Amino acid sequence: MSRGFSIIELLVITAIIATFSVVLILNFRSSPTSRTAREQTASVILSDVRRAQSLALSGSRYQGNLVCGYGVHYINPTSYLLYAKAVPASGPCFSVATRNYQAGDPIVETKILINVNMEIRSVFDDVFFEPPDPKTYIDDEFDLEGSPSTITVQLKGQQNCGQKSCTKVVIYPTGQIDMTN
């Protein structure tokens, strides 16, 4: 009597394990158009807005130059940028003409949505954080009672946000940043 498994038994066990592996991989893989994919895209945007806020908290220098703060600016449905506002030659930060992005402002990073199936639904107001607090400026206005800026992420080409089919990143004038469906 020989000890061990026959080749038939090994092949059957291997086939069973392979079948379970394929089923598990297919079930746990996230679709690039799913709610999870949309929330992941919105989470990246939220993280970038918080990054601009953190840069304003951590100091007022960018590439060795003094800056008055950092902001987020809409470019198109699939991209936005993080920018810095340089200290004006005429004096301190409060003499800055506008805190909204203008050509010539230092660009910290241009961000392109990684998931090609997602887009930013519409133009959003520039959000700017000015140190040291940081104060939050929405569309060049600092007003704690003002309206928040909302960045809406949706499936590309989608017409409306019915039945929780959009994810929103909301930036409040107080500096609070939330993500909602």
- Whether 22 is in a domain gets the answer no
Residue type, 77: P
Tell me whether the omega of the peptide bond preceding residue 132 falls within 30 degrees of 0, making it cis: yes
- Whether 23 is in a domain gets the answer no
Phi, psi of 49 (to 5 degrees): -65, -45
Q: Which residues contact 36 (CB under 8 A, 6 or more apart)?
A: 30
pTM score: 0.79
Share of the chain above pLDDT 90, in %: 53
- Whether 127 is in a domain gets the answer yes
Residue 63: give its domain's CATH number: 3.55.40.10
- pLDDT for 2: 67
- Whether 24 is in a domain gets the answer no
- Whether 20 is in a domain gets the answer no
- Whether 167 is in a domain gets the answer yes
Domain coverage including residue 88: 33-180
- pLDDT for 60: 66
Total structural domains within the chain:
1
